[in-house]
Amino acid sequence: MRDISLHLLDILTNSISAGATLMLIRIQADNKSDLLMIRIEDNGIGMHPDFLKSVTDPFSTTRTTRKVGLGLPLFKEACEITGGVLAIESTPGVGTTVTATMGISSIDRIPLGNTGETLSGLISSYPDRDFVIVFSNDQGEEVGLDTMDLRERLGDVPLSQPDVYVFVRDYIQEQQQIILGGI
């Protein structure tokens, strides 16, 4: 994957497949401790402890169309190469939380990329699910977007409208730039 926002898209499609109706995404940069944290929390069906143990094994997947599952193993590799870690907590019936950390200044760290395009694509494809994205930095600045708020503002206009897609994409990308700069 070329950037973190593509991993984010991949992990969030796992949440969707797990039937999640609410996904909370937090992206936090702490330059003092040189850590970038990406956390994805969902309320999907969760994973059984046995499957959880093997979930970062590339030959482990729930799919029937192919025998490999590369999403989490690739994300784990992208974290570890920068000195970071990927942690997954999951409780069947409650949900799953994926927490990734990366060394901000590591030469091997891929850029954050366009989280606006990731989120707008998901929101327009799954207009009945809710997504909350929050960006924060070590100056205590915090901004984000919540689809429950969008839905309230848009009334009967569905979140899958192309105009909404373009707005959401540009809005989130602008928030990312303001809070995290060119990370």
Partner 1 sequence: MKSLSELEQIKKKAQLDMTARNQSGKRIIVGMATCGIAAGARPVMATLVEELHTRSIADVSVSMTGCLGLCRLEPIVEVIDADGNKVTYVKMDSNKAKRVIAEHIINGQVCQDLTISPEDTM
The one among 121, 132, 134, 143 contacting partner 1 by CB under 8 A: 121
Other beta carbons within 10 angstroms of residue 93's beta carbon come to 8
The one among 15, 43, 118, 136 contacting partner 1 by CB under 8 A: 118
The one among 21, 54, 105, 125 contacting partner 1 by CB under 8 A: 125
Closest CA to 109 of 74, 73, 76, 79: 79
Compute the distance between CA of residue 32 and CA of residue 72 in angstroms, rounded to an integer.
28
Binding mask 153-182 for partner 1 (x = CB under 8 A): xxxxx--xxxxxxxx-xxx--x--------
Q: What Cα–Cα distance (Å) separates residue 27 from each residue in 90, 104, 142?
A: 20, 12, 10
Q: Which residue ranges make up the site for partner 1 (CB under 8 A)? A: 1, 6, 9-10, 13, 17, 63, 65-66, 69-71, 74, 117-118, 120-122, 124-126, 149-150, 153-157, 160-167, 169-171, 174
